[in-house]
Structure 1
Amino acid sequence: MEIRQLHVDEFEPSLTLSEYAFKYKVSGEDRVKQEQKFKPERVWGIFEDGTLNAQLTLLPLQAYIQGKTVSMGGIAGVATWPENRRQGYVAKLLKHTLQVMNENGQTLSMLHPFLIPFYRKFGWEVYCEYKKYTIPVAKFPLKTDIEGVVRRDSANLEVLDQLYNQFAAQYNGTLMRTKEWWQDNVLDKDTHHSVFFSEQGEAEGYLLYKLENNQLVIDEFVFLNEKARRGLWTFLANHDSMVTGAELKLVPSDDILPYLLPDPRIPQENYPYFMARIVNAQAFIESFTFNNLTENGKYTVYIQDEQAPWNEGVWEWTVNNQGSGSLTRSDSTDMQADLSCSIGTLTVLLMGYKRPQELARYGKISGSAEAVKWLEEITPQAKTALFDFF
């Protein structure tokens, strides 16, 4: 058995495996385009006697944490032939890519799970969820007179990217998008964009949407202030003679639109979305900004991480009165640690998806009441989201 990156001449076996695993077909001109964009160095495969048995793609991405970007390994396209399943191939690939990410300095990893319990075994944990709204046109927000203007399908990519970054940086776990990512993964020929500009000509919000089956399908609704939100909704409401309603997708979980509607009784759904995993706990914590306390604090923590031995074990966790944290290997045993949790729990805690005392209440963190209280006090309040898919 050999685990390695694919070669440039292995596009066909890679695509054929993906087509079978994900039940789609690429042909003709689209196949030629995909081959031109094929980046074999990003695809890791397991080979037996020269035959590709399983593969995954490791994407070099950047994610926002506390308003700053960190290097993140995005896992995508995990596939294996049915006759090779339940033989540990994917487990070996995941463990190998964890080592690669650690060597590359990617302190965080994210993926979209086909099955959440499967990836939990390897340390990934759900870190965000999204809302989906279905709003009949009669229940749209009221039209309002706004000082500003909405311009449709005329803004350049730099304007959209600037607005997106200001909005996305408010959340932990959102992507920093490159121009290539926008073009290949966000925009397409069927997607319209509309940008709200203030009276001073400042771009303050945008919509990405499609018109499908008499519906406004809104992929992204980004606004920097209330005026922009109202202006964009007034623009949408002016479609009332063309559509029967709107469907908003990938809405951040902290959104309160239903409360703001004249009649908030609309269909709403919540979905657990992506999973995340800290790749290197020491590096992640030492680049993190904690709440400032009047005195330095230090507790021992046992981190359970069977897949990444560089994380597994007992650490002295120190946070000084400037909010800087450090992890130092301890001689204590796991039974002596003040706190104990899995790498997945540590991930959702630091990303802000769940609070320490909440996790302790349900047995995801164990430890003394004093240590849990300290963890609650040093951990900043945060919110998580993701507006992309890979």
Structure 2
Amino acid sequence: MEIRNVRLDELEKSLELAQYAFQYMLNEEEKKEAQEKYIPERNWGLFEDEQLVAKLVIIPLEVYLHGRVFSMGGIGGVASWPEHRRSGWVSLLLRHALQVMNDSGQMLSFLHPFSVAFYRKFGWEMLSDFKKYIVTTDKFPPKEIVEGKVCRDVVDIATLDRIYQKYAIEYNGTLVRDESWWERSVLDDDGHTAVFYNASGEASGYLLYKIENKELLVDEFVYLTDEARVGLWTFLSNHDSMVTKIVFTNIPANDMLPYTLPDPRIGQEFVPYGMARIVNVKRLLEAFPFKPTEHEGHWKIQIKDRDAPWNEGIWSVNINGEGKSTVGLLNETANDGDEKLSCDISTFSAMLIGYMRPTELHRLGRLTGPVEMANMLDQIIAPQQTLFMDYF
């Protein structure tokens, strides 16, 4: 058994496995494009007798956390042949991927799970929930005239990205997008864009949407001002003769749309989306922007992480009045009598990324130790809504 990069001359075998596992077919043009864009250093395979039996890809990305940018390794394309499943090969690949990401300096890792329970075993935890709305035409809000205009099918990525980055920085977990990501992973040849410009000509909101089978499908509804929200809603409502409903996805879990509608009794669903994991506890804690306080803070936490042993142990964290931390790994044989918190890496990930609050985790028994310490963490870890709208 050997784990190594999948070479370019082995790409065809990798594509065969991907197409079988994810049940799709590539035509010759798509295979050629995949070959032209292939980066062997990101693709890892487990080989047995020189035969590829399992694979995954690590995509170097960046995400926002409390307004700062953190390095993240996106795990995708995890697959194995059915005759080799439940043999532990994917487990070995995931542990290898954690080592690779740690060696590369990536602090976080995100993925989209085929099974939440499976990836929880390796330390990933839920990243975000988004709201899905179904609004039938009879529930559309009244059309309002606002100063400004909406332009359809705007293809200027720089304009879209300026709006997106101002929006994304207000959430935890949102991806930092570059131009190639917009082209490759966000914009769709079959979809439409619509941008709201205010009276000064400044772009302050956009939509990504499609129209299919008399349904208007909105993948991203992004706005920086209430004026932009109203202007974009009026644009959507003007489709009332063409569609029977609007289906919104990727709406933040704390969104208040129903409150703004004349009749808030619309279809609503919370959809868990994406999983996240801390790759390196020490690096993340040292870079994490804790809330400034009048007094310095000190706490200890014991973290269990079977699959990334460099995170295992009792960590001592000192935070100064500016919210900057000094982090050290204690000798577990030394017992100084200080009380400490304790949890596994998935719980710690959910807490620092913001999917769950420390006191919530303490009440659930996932974070154990003195409740006073959990309360202190509630004070120094700012609440921030998580949101992840991308797929890889």
Q: TM-score, normalised by structure 2?
A: 0.97
Aligned residue for 2:99?
99
Segments of 5+ residues of structure 2 without an aligned counterpart are none
Aligned counterparts of 2:8 and 2:372: Cα–Cα separation in 1? 56
Q: CA deviation at 1:249?
A: 1.0
Which of residues 333, 339, 358 is equivalent to 1:356?
A: 358
Alignment RMSD (CA, Å): 1.3
Aligned residue for 1:75?
75
Aligned counterparts of 1:62 and 1:333: Cα–Cα separation in 2? 37
Is residue 158 of structure 2 the alignment partner of residue 158 of structure 1? yes
Query: Which residue identity does 2:64 align to in structure 1?
Result: Y
Q: CA deviation at 1:331?
A: 2.3
Aligned counterparts of 1:27 and 1:177: Cα–Cα separation in 2? 28
More displaced, 34-43 or 140-149? 34-43
Aligned counterparts of 1:251 and 1:264: Cα–Cα separation in 2? 16
Q: CA deviation at 1:31?
A: 2.0
Q: CA deviation at 1:178?
A: 1.4
Aligned residue for 1:52?
52
The DSSP-based 3-state class of the residue aligned with 1:263 is coil
Aligned counterparts of 1:195 and 1:246: Cα–Cα separation in 2? 18
Whether the aligned pair in 2 keeps the contact of 1:334 and 1:340 (CA below 8 Å) is no
Whether the aligned pair in 2 keeps the contact of 1:314 and 1:333 (CA below 8 Å) is no
Is residue 297 of structure 2 the alignment partner of residue 329 of structure 1? no
1:106-121 equivalences in 2 (<5 Å): 106-121=106-121
Aligned residue for 1:373?
375
* Deviation digits for residues 161-205 of structure 1 (CA, Å, limit 9, x no counterpart): 111111111111111111111111111211110100010000000
Q: CA deviation at 1:334?
A: 10
Aligned residue for 1:258?
258
- Runs of at least 4 residues of structure 1 off by over 3 A? 332-337
Whether the aligned pair in 1 keeps the contact of 2:8 and 2:35 (CA below 8 Å) is no
* Deviation digits for residues 117-146 of structure 1 (CA, Å, limit 9, x no counterpart): 110111000020111111111111211010
Percent of pairs with identical residues: 49
Aligned counterparts of 1:154 and 1:84: Cα–Cα separation in 2? 47
Q: CA deviation at 1:28?
A: 2.6
Aligned counterparts of 2:173 and 2:375: Cα–Cα separation in 1? 25
Whether the aligned pair in 1 keeps the contact of 2:129 and 2:252 (CA below 8 Å) is yes
Aligned counterparts of 1:255 and 1:70: Cα–Cα separation in 2? 25
* Deviation digits for residues 281-316 of structure 1 (CA, Å, limit 9, x no counterpart): 110011011112222121221011111111000111
* Deviation digits for residues 190-245 of structure 1 (CA, Å, limit 9, x no counterpart): 11101000100000000010111111110100000100000000011111111111
Aligned counterparts of 1:151 and 1:332: Cα–Cα separation in 2? 62
Aligned residue for 2:349?
347
Q: CA deviation at 1:369?
A: 2.2
Query: Which residue identity does 2:379 align to in structure 1?
Result: E
The DSSP-based 3-state class of the residue aligned with 1:251 is strand
Is residue 320 of structure 2 the alignment partner of residue 320 of structure 1? yes
Q: CA deviation at 1:35?
A: 2.0
Aligned counterparts of 2:260 and 2:334: Cα–Cα separation in 1? 49
1:259-298 equivalences in 2 (<5 Å): 259-298=259-298
Aligned counterparts of 2:378 and 2:326: Cα–Cα separation in 1? 17
Whether the aligned pair in 1 keeps the contact of 2:280 and 2:310 (CA below 8 Å) is yes
Query: Which residue identity does 1:290 align to in structure 2?
Result: F
Segments of 5+ residues of structure 1 without an aligned counterpart are none
Aligned residue for 1:126?
126
Aligned counterparts of 1:216 and 1:74: Cα–Cα separation in 2? 30
Whether the aligned pair in 1 keeps the contact of 2:71 and 2:107 (CA below 8 Å) is yes
Whether the aligned pair in 2 keeps the contact of 1:314 and 1:334 (CA below 8 Å) is no
Whether the aligned pair in 1 keeps the contact of 2:135 and 2:246 (CA below 8 Å) is yes
Whether the aligned pair in 1 keeps the contact of 2:190 and 2:210 (CA below 8 Å) is yes
Q: TM-score, normalised by structure 1?
A: 0.98
Aligned residue for 1:214?
214
* Deviation digits for residues 99-122 of structure 1 (CA, Å, limit 9, x no counterpart): 110110100000001101110111
Aligned counterparts of 1:334 and 1:206: Cα–Cα separation in 2? 56
More displaced, 69-78 or 30-39? 30-39
Whether the aligned pair in 1 keeps the contact of 2:127 and 2:276 (CA below 8 Å) is yes
Query: Which residue identity does 1:173 align to in structure 2?
Result: G
Aligned counterparts of 1:302 and 1:361: Cα–Cα separation in 2? 18
Q: CA deviation at 1:154?
A: 3.1
Aligned residue for 2:88?
88
Whether the aligned pair in 2 keeps the contact of 1:155 and 1:195 (CA below 8 Å) is no
* Deviation digits for residues 305-353 of structure 1 (CA, Å, limit 9, x no counterpart): 1111110001111111111122201124599651001111111111111
Query: Which residue identity does 1:280 align to in structure 2?
Result: N
Whether the aligned pair in 2 keeps the contact of 1:135 and 1:267 (CA below 8 Å) is yes
Which of residues 351, 369, 385 is equivalent to 2:387?
A: 385
The DSSP-based 3-state class of the residue aligned with 1:357 is helix
Aligned counterparts of 2:107 and 2:163: Cα–Cα separation in 1? 26
